[in-house]
């Protein structure tokens, strides 16, 4: 095909329109301070600084994931710890809880990693998925001046909560090589740009808020060992989250402070002497 045929008047008009549209889009983005790409934002405190003891829950173990699993997980900022409710005997249902927290930041490139894919990929047999709401119950929770719930963590620091009603997804599965009576239930949700959601697809909508320069999302997953009844699982995990979630939220960026421009702290350039 000759250049003359390739660049006929129709083609040139289309290119001009596309170029004008691109210039117009850039002008709109600049004028309204919209952010199509997201900058990463660091944790306020590293996840490994979460308390080993909170309320009756004592950390009794931790898991270091293999390089291959970390690559599949998509982040090195994670913890996989086991806590014991010291009010119960170790072999009682719900006494042991596996807490997995994974932090992501920047522009997302896929639907977040979820337990359904992880456990099934490891050979587990999926059984059921349900969505519930778990209330946080603590005398340390109170409302701030703007009506948003605040809570005091174990170190006496005031932490902002998106809500005291946490949407949670419950996934039932039979472990690889297990029997039906060995069914387990894992409960998980996401904290993303200052909001809670249990729906992975909603995470992208939250972090792609065009008015925000930054984006983060954090998967919070709890597996109560030996608990298969949904009502019991909600009760056990609700009691645990009422103690642990304020500690986790204290590690994540405070979205109120982010939107106010107070976090992350901007570095002041050093003055150079002539």
pLDDT digits (tens, 9 = 90+) for 152-174: 999 999 999 999 999 999 999 99
Determine which of 24-28, 47-51, 114-118 has the lowest per-residue pLDDT on average. 24-28
Please report, for residues 267, 269, 271, the alpha-carbon distance to residue 274 in angstroms, rounded to integers and kept in the order given.
21, 15, 9
Q: Are 107 and 38 in contact (CB under 8 A)?
A: yes
What count of residues does the chain have?
274
State pTM to two decimals.
0.84
The tens digit of pLDDT for each residue in 51-78 reads 999 999 999 999 999 999 999 899 999 9
Cα–Cα dist 221/103, whole Å: 12
* Whole-number average pLDDT of the chain: 87
Q: CA dihedral defined by 255, 259, 260, 262, rounded to 10 degrees?
A: 60
Q: Are 78 and 100 in contact (CB under 8 A)?
A: yes
């Amino acid at each position: 095909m000759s250049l003359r045929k390739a660049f006929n008047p129709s083609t040139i008009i289309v290119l001009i329109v596309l170029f004008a549209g691109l210039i117009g889009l850039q002008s709109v983005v600049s004028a309204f301070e919209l952010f199509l790409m997201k900058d990463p934002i660091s944790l306020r405190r590293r996840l490994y600084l979460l308390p080993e003891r909170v309320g009756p829950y004592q950390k009794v173990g931790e898991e270091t994931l293999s390089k291959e699993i970390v690559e599949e997980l998509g982040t090195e900022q994670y913890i996989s710890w086991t806590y014991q409710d010291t009010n119960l005997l170790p072999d009682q249902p719900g006494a042991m809880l596996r807490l997995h927290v994974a932090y992501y930041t920047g522009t997302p490139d896929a639907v977040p990693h979820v337990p359904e894919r992880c456990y099934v990929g490891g050979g587990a047999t999926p059984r059921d998925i349900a969505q519930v709401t778990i209330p946080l119950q603590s005398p340390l929770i109170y409302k701030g001046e703007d009506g948003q719930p605040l809570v005091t963590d174990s170190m006496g620091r005031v932490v902002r909560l998106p809500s005291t009603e946490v949407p949670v997804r419950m996934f039932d599965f039979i472990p690889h090589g297990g029997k039906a009576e060995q069914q387990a239930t894992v409960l998980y949700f996401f904290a993303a740009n200052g909001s809670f959601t249990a729906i992975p697809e909603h995470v992208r909508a939250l972090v792609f808020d065009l008015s925000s320069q930054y984006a983060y999302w954090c998967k919070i997953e709890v597996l109560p060992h030996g608990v298969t009844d949904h009502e019991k699982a909600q009760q056990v995990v609700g009691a645990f989250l009422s103690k642990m979630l304020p500690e986790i939220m204290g590690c994540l960026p405070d979205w109120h402070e982010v939107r106010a421009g107070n976090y992350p702290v901007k570095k002041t350039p050093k003055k150079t002497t002539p």
